[in-house]
Structure 1
Amino acid sequence: MTLKAFSEIRERAEARKGKAAIEERLKNYLSRSGSDIGSDDRLLAEMAKYIFSSGISWKVVESKWPGIEDAFLGFDPNLLNIQPDDFWHDLLSDKRIIRHGAKVQAIRRNAAFISDLAREHGSAMNFLLDWPSTDLVGLFEFLKKRGDRLGGHTGQYVLRAIGKENFVISRDVAACLREAGVAITGDGSGKAERKAIQAAFNEWAKETGLPMSHLSVIAAQSIDSH
């Protein structure tokens, strides 16, 4: 089956949501550059936000966030990396945070991961932002292997939060891809399926000149998977 032209998908999204509403939504997904690019502590903070919010209400994380920032020393990776085991043990009884042992340890491991990337490439944030958009599925796999609890949608949403031009394989996006002719089943998490997803987005990017994040948002608005 030939891949459906993205112009058809956009027309369907605009018919469902309205052209003005789609354009307004896309403004939230502009790429960052220069002084807008955050430092590595903000990268770790975004990782922590999405790790903590997995399985619980986002509002709970937002309401506790100032205390979480304080408890984790502003998410400075280098500062966290020199904290003794007692510091991490004490966090598990700290009421300022969401006291989930595996998630706290994931933040500890991701602090080390970010510092390692910074030593290897100068800046972990810039390294991720510079990863070619034509191989986002390779970046998703990299985060899963090198990081902790960054597989699945978590890593994809972290990338979006830091301004990376990436797609998110949400349920609606997966439904759009299937309808457009991409051979995927379920959530599209298989290696071969992800290659097919990347190929589809690469083709749509060439067709439209749009960044991956915009293609992803429009695709999600074009269909109701529920």
Structure 2
Amino acid sequence: MCKRCDWGTNNELMMKYHDEEWGVPLHDDDKLFEFFVLEGFQAGLSWQIVLNKRENFRRAFDQFNPQKVVQYSENKIQELIQDKSIIRNQQKIRACVNNAQRFIEVQKEFGSFDKYIWGFVNHKPIQNKFKDLKELPAKTELSDLISADLKKRGFKFVGSTVIYAHMQATGMVNDHLVNCYRYTEVQ
């Protein structure tokens, strides 16, 4: 059996996410927006809760298409607030609509969200060398910097911890433990 990061052994869904997605450098704007939304909904919750509802979120938020999300009316927002298949946090739902607008603005300014966000790491993943889950930070000076820049641009639910989780998920940092078989695969 392969050695994987301890958090990725909880159940089949977490194993699949760990083995196939987490830490893989991601450069597709639509997928970056998806993770951006999901990480925002995770704030204060476990990733397992969000991951369990991921397909429901995709359906509810038009496959995370920012061009569609930005057009959500108050009626659509109220519909989402009543949708028991997702996390029904009004502030997070409204933040998602707001962030779609901010996301599009960044795309226009930089040519893509990918160019903007990956610019913070000079367009290549930071290779950490952690041996134990206890070593993984919840946030870093870099996530503080990115968070501050996003807030300045009007984004919501983009605290430093949320941003560091986004960096981990999208491969901006390689936080697989060095003894995890994925560590060298995502470099």
Kindly report which structure 2 residues correspond to 1:104-115, keeping only aligned pairs within 5 A, or say none. Answer: 104-115=93-104
**Higher RCO (C-alpha 8 Å, min separation 6):** 2
1:131–1:41 Cα change, 3 Å: same
Q: Is 1:102–2:102 an aligned residue pair?
A: no
Q: What 5-or-longer segments of structure 2 have no aligned partner?
A: 9-18, 127-140, 179-187
Kindly report which structure 2 residues correspond to 1:1-226, keeping only aligned pairs within 5 A, or say none. Answer: 32=25, 37-132=26-121, 136=142, 137-146=144-153, 147-165=155-173, 213=174
1:21–1:42 Cα change, 3 Å: closer
Give the TM-score of the pair, scaled to structure 1.
0.55
Partner of 1:199: none
1:114-133 deviation per Cα after TM superposition (whole angstroms, max 9, x unaligned): 10001111101221112245
User: What is the count of residue pairs matched by the alignment?
Assistant: 144
* RMSD (Å) for aligned C-alpha atoms: 2.9
Q: Which has the higher helix share?
A: 1
Give the TM-score of the pair, scaled to structure 2.
0.65
- Post-superposition shift, 1:63? 1.5
Letter in 2 for 1:89: Q
Letter in 2 for 1:149: F
Larger Rg: 1
- Post-superposition shift, 1:58? 2.5
1:90–1:159 Cα change, 3 Å: same
Q: What 5-or-longer segments of structure 1 have no aligned partner?
A: 1-19, 166-212, 219-226
- Whether the 8 Å contact between 1:40 and 1:125 is mirrored in structure 2 is yes
Corresponding residue SS for 1:97: coil
- Whether the 8 Å contact between 1:144 and 1:155 is mirrored in structure 2 is no
Letter in 2 for 1:157: A
